[in-house]
Amino acid sequence: MESINSNETRKKIYYYLLKQGKPTGLKKIQRDLGISSPSLVHYHLKRLEEQGLVKETPEGYVINKVILSEFVKVANHLIPISAFWSSFFLTSLVLEIALLLTGRIIDSAVFGSIIVGISSTLSVKELIKKYKETKL
């Protein structure tokens, strides 16, 4: 079975339907995603149906199975789990810097700040990558 990640158009359609959270028609999907033709949207929807990921209802297409374990849906937004890690590390970095500036921390804390800084950078980089993947 072909992976959803093997085709960018298919992945965009899947993310779009997941974000919609309600039945969505083929023409609306085409228009909102800027896909060249309804037949191309139909082709990808059929592949997603074959994989059991979406299903067609009288009102339109809906998600049948959620496979995005690295995302959390909050309200009508897909948020990468890395967003929570990024928040944690950035907050830790700010606290470390604040403690260093007040003189309440020993020299070894500098090393901790560097580690948190590196971790924060990596987490934010991963967060940006995930948002670009789901950008519609």
pLDDT tens for 5-24 read 668 899 899 889 988 888 99
β-pairing verdict for 60-63 and 71-74: unpaired
Are 21 and 76 in the same domain?
A: no
Together in a domain, 54 and 99: no
Structural domain total, the chain: 2
Which alpha helices (H) appear in the chain, and where do they start and end?
Answer: 8-20, 26-33, 38-50, 81-102, 108-134
Confidence of residue 133 (pLDDT cuts 50, 70, 90): low
Q: Are residues 111 and 87 in the same domain?
A: yes
pLDDT digits (tens, 9 = 90+) for 98-107: 777 777 666 5
Both 28 and 52 in one domain: the answer is: yes
This prediction's pTM: 0.57
Q: Say yes or no: 59 and 112 in one domain.
A: no
State the virtual CA torsion across 96, 102, 104, 108 in degrees, nearest 10: 50
Mean pLDDT lowest among 45-54, 56-65, 78-87, 95-104: 95-104
Range of the domain at 11: 4-63
**12 and 33 co-located in one domain:** yes
